[in-house]
């Protein structure tokens, strides 16, 4: 189904090479998806050779897992691995026509990366950001051509979650938008077009649920009781499992950005920041399966 608000009379641009800025967990997951589904070369970069190598190794390991589970053929596994490369130099992005960033979730960091990358890439290359809660237009204000920028927000775990938020700013051109929609379709994701507002659509709903769950704990209810109380909502995991999946610092950041935009409607992420320093909420067995909630986490 065509996403609501998709432009009628613009054509997507071909994507023949993808550049991924950032080689962390989420970036590696979607770099692999681009190589697998678009079948084009994908180059990833980060601030150090070590991080780049770790990103490439993570992708290779995931391809091996897909092969073990019979999800890809040996030929496809080799083909995907050959498509992925890493570089610490932006020069490797010169011939990319789709560049997506997933660097540290801070406006100044993302703007700096975009400012630099725009010097290197072709004038018609599209820029995308995987930001979960920062203003895409503010990010694009440092670009000489903000019409080439679009939000392209994946959800954790990237290979499994079917939805993708495509964020249109006032400046995003129709051509950029339809290219993003075509890319999403090739990735086999369901795209929704959202306005450039804090939290877009999904995190606005989620920040409310997760914020209330955290507030319950901060006011003295145990993790267990809040999780049991949330169970009838039918979420696939408890709010606290979800926070660990997303990453506690990321969760805190999401709550803070919503609180900054609507102080009367969202709780700040202070409690989560403390939990992020503590390191976890759940107790886990040796295989990493959750076994319960750590009572020490509330102290
Ligand atoms: N990474 C990669 N793949 C994963 C995974 C992970 N962390 N966790 C599970 N999977 C895969 C499994 O390998 C399995 O794949 P196959 O079918 O190919 O074997 C599949 O997902 C189903 O896994 P399971 O049967 O083990 O587990 P499940 O049925 O309990 O589902 C789940 C696991 C998909 C993570 C499910 O619990 C879920 O949907 N949780 C909610 C996730 C969610 O809400 N995400 C949005 C977070 S918000 C966000 O990301 C945005 C932000 O900006 C902060």
pLDDT, tens digit, for every residue of 142-163? 999 999 999 999 999 999 999 9
User: What are the structural domains of the chain?
Assistant: 18-195 (3.40.50.720), 202-294 (1.10.1040.10)
* CA 235 – ligand 1 centroid, Å: 12
Q: Select from 252, 164, 154 the least CA-distant residue to 210.
A: 252
* CA 237 – ligand 1 centroid, Å: 9
Q: In the chain, which ranges are E strands?
A: 18-21, 42-45, 84-86, 98-101, 126-129, 149-153, 163-168, 190-195, 282-284, 290-293
* CA 91 – ligand 1 centroid, Å: 35
pLDDT one-digit tens code per residue, 7-63: 988 999 999 999 999 999 999 999 999 999 999 999 999 999 999 999 999 999 999
Indicate which atom in ligand 1 lies nearest the CA of residue 132. 53
**153: annotated active-site residue:** yes
- 8-state DSSP, 69: T
Indicate which atom in ligand 1 lies nearest the CA of residue 254. 54
Whether complex ipTM tops 0.90: yes
- Report the Cα–Cα distance between both ends of the chain, in Å, rounded: 48
User: Which amino acid residue places its CA nearest to atom 13 of ligand 1?
Assistant: 160
What gap in Å lies between CA 124 and CA 140, rounded to an integer?
A: 15
Indicate which atom in ligand 1 lies nearest the CA of residue 250. 54
**Is 158 touching ligand 1 by the criterion CB < 6 Å?**
no
Q: How confident is the model at residue 1 (pLDDT cuts 50, 70, 90)?
A: confident
CB crowding 83-103: b at 16 or more within 10 Å, else e: bbebbbebebbeebbbbbbbb
35-39, 132-136, 182-186: which range is least confident on average? 132-136
* CA 157 – ligand 1 centroid, Å: 5
* CA 229 – ligand 1 centroid, Å: 22
What residues contact residue 294 under an 8 Å CB cut-off, 6+ apart?
A: 280, 281, 282, 283
Phi, psi of 134 (to 5 degrees): -90, 155
**Is 33 touching ligand 1 by the criterion CB < 6 Å?**
no
> The pTM is what?
0.95
Catalytic residue (one of 153, 253, 258, 259): 153
Identify the sign of the CA torsion 159, 162, 167, 173: positive
Indicate which atom in ligand 1 lies nearest the CA of residue 133. 53
């Amino acid at each position: 189904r065509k996403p609501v608000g998709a432009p009628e009379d613009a054509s997507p641009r071909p994507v023949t090479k993808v550049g991924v800025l950032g080689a962390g967990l989420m970036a590696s997951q979607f770099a692999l998806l681009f190589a697998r589904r678009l079948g084009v070369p994908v180059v990833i970069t980060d601030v150090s050779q070590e991080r780049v190598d770790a990103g490439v190794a993570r992708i290779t390991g995931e391809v091996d897992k897909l092969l073990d589970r019979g999800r890809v053929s040996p030929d496809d596994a080799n083909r995907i691995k050959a498509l992925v490369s890493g570089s610490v130099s932006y020069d490797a992005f010169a011939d990319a026509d789709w560049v997506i960033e997933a660097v540290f979730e801070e406006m100044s960091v993302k703007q700096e990366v975009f400012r630099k990358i725009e010097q290197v890439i072709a004038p018609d290359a599209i820029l995308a950001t995987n930001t979960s809660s920062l203003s895409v237009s503010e990010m694009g204000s440092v670009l000489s051509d903000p019409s080439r920028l679009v939000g392209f927000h994946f959800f954790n775990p990237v290979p499994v979650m079917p939805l993708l938020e495509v964020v249109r700013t006032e400046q995003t051109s129709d051509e950029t938008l339809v290219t993003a929609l075509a890319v999403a379709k090739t990735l086999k994701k369901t795209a929704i077009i959202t306005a450039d507002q804090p939290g877009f659509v999904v995190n606005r709903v989620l920040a409310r649920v997760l914020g209330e769950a955290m507030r319950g704990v901060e006011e003295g209810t145990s993790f267990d009781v809040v999780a049991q109380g949330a169970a009838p909502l039918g979420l696939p995991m408890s709010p606290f499992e979800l926070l660990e999946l997303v990453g506690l610092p990321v969760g805190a950041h999401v709550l803070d950005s919503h609180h900054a935009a609507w102080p009367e409607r969202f709780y700040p992420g202070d409690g989560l920041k403390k939990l992020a320093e503590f390191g976890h909420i759940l107790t886990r067995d040796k295989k990493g399966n959750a076994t319960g909630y750590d009572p020490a986490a509330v102290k």
